[in-house]
Amino acid sequence: MGVIDFYGSSFCLIKSNTNLQQVGLSPRPSCSFGRNQKKLVAMASTIPVEQVNKFPQQLTGDSFIREHLRKLSPYQPILPFEVLSSRLGRKPEDIVKLDANENPYGPPPEVLEALGSITFPYVYPDPESRRLRAALAEDSGLESKYILAGCGADELIDLIMRCVLDPGDKIVDCPPTFTMYEFDAAVNGALVIKVPRREDFSLNVEHITEVVKQEKPKCIFLTSPNNPDGSIIDDKVLLKILELPILVVLDEAYIEFSGIESKMSWVKKYENLIVLRTFSKRAGLAGLRVGYGAFPLSIIEYLWRAKQPYNVSVAAEVSACAALQNPTYLEDVKNALVKERGRLFELLKGFSFLRPFPSHSNFILCEVTSGKDAKKLKEDLAQMGVMIRHYDKKELNGYVRVSVGKPEQTDILIKCLQKLS
């Protein structure tokens, strides 16, 4: 790999492992600008204009795109409020949105106050997010030097892959789970080895161990609680996987609803562990995109080098810091959602065509049974202004996922399901 360095009108190709003195070049070649300029002009004048402007007829814009990206299927996100409103012919406030695991209570009031008092929106944000990382250190008990913030945890997932994976490297994915792991792996030219979960959605550790030994993948992505079923990974299982020669990325996007402690502090002990967190669920900041991760010091050094310099906006950092100033609000909202999760689970069990699974998160996965079609169930509810998530992939064909909302949103959902019974 080399560097083309232009000095005025002269240039040289510098190879990374070449001694410049051996090839007769100085680190900063000196030359007569005027003399070389004339030579370059003379050379350029010998090229016919019609050849410069003539491109092969078969050349199209997509021919510049990397081959593996031309075959990539786009990620399918949830439709935003304004699009849903237009399609359904309803006002946004009349839509019961239970399809994206958003926090229906929104952020603490301090967030809106902080956003309204931003003084320097025209100045670039702190590239190190120092204020936010200090607040996160206080909140988590882990020193800020282990913490890196991102534009949502999604950015950090991609950043990890860009730093770790060469094209053709392998990752382990355990479906059904968060589909961004598979998507980002495809974007980065990596191969995905799927180790499906068991029927109860627990990890198949024996199969994972076998795959690591035979295929030698670089990393594995695990989610606890897992999306979309809400199951958690037992500490003993996680420890077994950490014994393997593989980088373990543990996604704790929904950890606050689980009743178990975060594993952020474990990165000080395990060199092959990364833990990801987010403000989207806990603090209701999904629209502002704020995520963070805990990394071993031996890894975080390289992520600092590779990340975009201004990846966390001023608005995002101000909002996250403001949210952390009101832990009572965050705790109350979490407790309200956990309580409503229990109520929703019992109500869903009352329908003969639904089989809900116990969840440690702010959503409930349901198998659609008794001959009902899961996709049609989603569409029928949408026509009533109630949005839920539908799955059609082989691991979850015939399943729907319902986010936990406010009690009044649950009531509307149940009334609509009763009409469809």
DSSP 332-396: HHHHHHHHHHHHHHHHHHTSTTEEE---SSSEEEEEE-TT--HHHHHHHHHHTTEE-EEE-SGGG
CB 103 within 8 A of CB 362: yes
Distance CA 84, CA 246 (A): 42
Domains recognised in the chain with CATH numbers: 70-101+329-420 (3.90.1150.10), 109-325 (3.40.640.10)
The residues that bridge with 5 in the sheet, in sequence order, are 12
pTM of this structure: 0.84
CB 370 within 8 A of CB 408: no
3 state SS of 222:
strand
Going by C-alpha positions, the residue among 337, 338, 366 that lies closest to residue 350 is: 366
The residues that bridge with 307 in the sheet, in sequence order, are none
Query: Residue 243, Cβ neighbours under 10 Å: how many?
Result: 11
- Walk along the chain (421 residues) and give the pLDDT tens digit of each residue: 555 554 554 444 444 444 444 444 444 544 444 444 444 444 445 555 555 555 566 788 777 778 887 777 777 776 776 777 777 777 777 889 999 999 999 999 999 999 999 999 999 999 999 999 999 999 999 999 999 999 999 999 999 999 999 999 999 999 999 999 999 999 999 999 999 999 999 999 999 999 999 999 999 999 999 999 999 999 999 999 999 999 999 999 999 999 999 999 999 999 999 999 999 999 999 999 999 999 999 999 999 999 999 999 999 999 999 999 999 999 999 999 999 999 999 999 999 999 999 999 999 999 999 999 999 999 999 999 999 999 988 889 999 999 999 999 999 999 999 999 8
